[in-house]
Amino acid sequence: MSTLPHPAQRRDPRDPLARRRLSALLLALVVLWPMLVIAEFKPQALLAPAGLRAMGGFLAGFLPPALSAEFLGLLARATLETLAMATAGVTLAFALAVPLAFVSTRSLSVSRIGPGPGRWRGGLLRTAARGVLTMLRAIPELVWALVLVRAFGLGPAAGVLALAITYAGMLGKVYAEILESGDTRPARALLEAGSGRLAALGYGLLPGAAQELASYTVYRWECAVRASVVMGFVGAGGLGQLMDQSMKMLNGGEACSILVVFLLLVFLADALSAGLRKWLA
């Protein structure tokens, strides 16, 4: 004979956090709605007949893609310029970001282990390094490109420096946060045992953070590829400059071919990131 469970033992089918989640959703809507109004976000305009006809006519001009030998030669050269600009910019940014991240990482600070005369100097140095990282990333790379194009002239050199300046701030900030968000006990134990900061970084922090650091670096390289394309519209060369010329000439086929190259570059970045994570695993 089956027995029914006691009413107190029956599981309540209701979500105990439903009221809290509903309140959070309503609060988010209250905050988000004025932002959408200020931004003049009107998604219904996308479904208007006039808007659909305009977008359809514009996209129809992208087919078929341009495949002439002359244009493909220009496209290959612009792609190499874009890859060179992004790679050189991220490499310079990496060279600037690593020492700044090393200095600003609290878990590598010897002065934080205990009280001492160098404690305030260490805190001041970390604050200064974090301030430099903030200033580097505060100005968008497009603004730097506009300024540097006037100094270097048209070409990828301005784009390389613009990426290096802005991305150094981004990489350094995130590197420091990744190193501090992991398990810092091995690094602290090494420092307390008298080890140097480089040894604490190499043996205490990097083993657990290497995959995330590599993945973020490759992601920033992918962002640099896209940013270098945008900077091409202000004369920094590469695919952006070629895209600007094609759009001004209303040549949708050439624009379509350039967009296909963009897509392939993103696939390349994803494959590179997956390969690095597997290698570092």
Q: Which of 104, 109, 106, 110 is nearest to 132 (CA)?
A: 104
Are the C-beta atoms of 242 and 78 separated by less than 8 Å? yes
HEC profile for 79-114?
HHHHHHHHHHHHHHHHHHHHHHHHHHCHHHCHHHCC
Check residue 211 and give its pLDDT: 84
Per-residue pLDDT averaged across 91-111, rounded? 85
What the chain holds in terms of domains, given with CATH numbers, is 69-280 (1.10.3720.10)
56-75, pLDDT tens digit by residue? Answer: 777 777 788 888 888 888 88
Check residue 91 and give its pLDDT: 93
Distance CA(255)–CA(246), nearest Å, equals: 6
Distance CA(258)–CA(253), nearest Å, equals: 9
202-211, pLDDT tens digit by residue? Answer: 888 888 888 8
pLDDT tier for residue 41 given thresholds of 50, 70 and 90: confident
**Dihedral pair phi/psi, residue 123, rounded to 5°:** -65, -40
Distance CA(228)–CA(235), nearest Å, equals: 10
What number of other Cβ atoms are within 10 A of residue 79's Cβ? 19
219-242, pLDDT tens digit by residue? Answer: 888 888 888 878 777 777 778 888
> Which tops the pLDDT comparison, 141 or 50?
141
Q: Which amino acid would we find at residue 154?
A: L
